Amino acid sequence: MNKDRLLKLASDPKFISGIYNYCDRWCERCRFTDRCLNYAIGQEEGHHDIENLSPEAFAETISGIFNATSEMLSEMAEEQGIDLEAGDTEEIQQRLRKRREDANNHPCAKAAMQYTKAVKEWFDNSEHSFKEKEDELNSELQLEIPDTNPYEESEEILDAVEIIRWHQHQIYVKIMRALQGKWEDEIEELKDMPKDSDGSAKVALIAIDNSIAAWEKLRTELTDEEDSILDIIIHLDKLRKDLEAEFPDARSFIRPGFDEPEKYG
């Protein structure tokens, strides 16, 4: 994508400014894809499902967008007499590394990473439970047992699994962004202004909410796994409370589009 095309897309008033900064990247389930600049760029490049891109296609797409953005920023800086080469880049890199290291050592980030690993371990060890549930649903279907709906039940289980898997890594990523952004917000002292860190924390909290609800669904369906699932739910609930304590204003953060139904319908 070239600079001129990127500028044209970015200036289109139909796009909700910044909506992509506070979403869960689940385009298939989003009602705002037609108002999202990131989605439109993906469509322009011939794909929007980054998860399924080959490494080569991903690198090419990202490179093209960054090149166009860099060219645009350079021109804007030149027009305003700003020297983008000024400053100690090594010092900046060290500060960024230190900020990421501090965030990674934060209890919320550690708990999120523990959750990521716990999910993988749980699914690796629970194949037999899903197989037993599959056999049970097939029996209900064949025997036509009254007051049962095997199709609906299987869809609900699949939906719960998809939700858990989708947010498995994202919770950690969003918490890391929130923690790193929080220290940046504190440095800039943006008083009485919505903080990006609160927005990222809210996305993480919503992902935790949805994941807990999905685990609860699995807990009612896979009775053999009730104890192991309960352990995960307890871990997630503690993480949720700790994150809310760390970002007390996160829940009230207004995400463009998503939290403005009266404005965007």
Give CA separation, 177 vs 3, 21, 172, in Å: 28, 11, 9
- Mean pLDDT, to the nearest integer, of 89-94? 72
Structure confidence at residue 84 (pLDDT)? 54
Q: Please report which confidence band the pLDDT of residue 151 belongs to, taking 50, 70 and 90 as the band edges.
A: confident
Report CA Rg, the chain. Answer: 22
Structure confidence at residue 237 (pLDDT)? 98
- Mean pLDDT, to the nearest integer, of 148-170? 92
The domain limits of the chain are 3-86, 100-264
Structure confidence at residue 197 (pLDDT)? 93
Structure confidence at residue 90 (pLDDT)? 72
**Least trusted range by pLDDT, from 87-91, 184-188, 221-225, 236-240:** 184-188
- Asked if residue 202 has pLDDT above 70, the reply is yes
- Mean pLDDT, to the nearest integer, of 31-52? 75
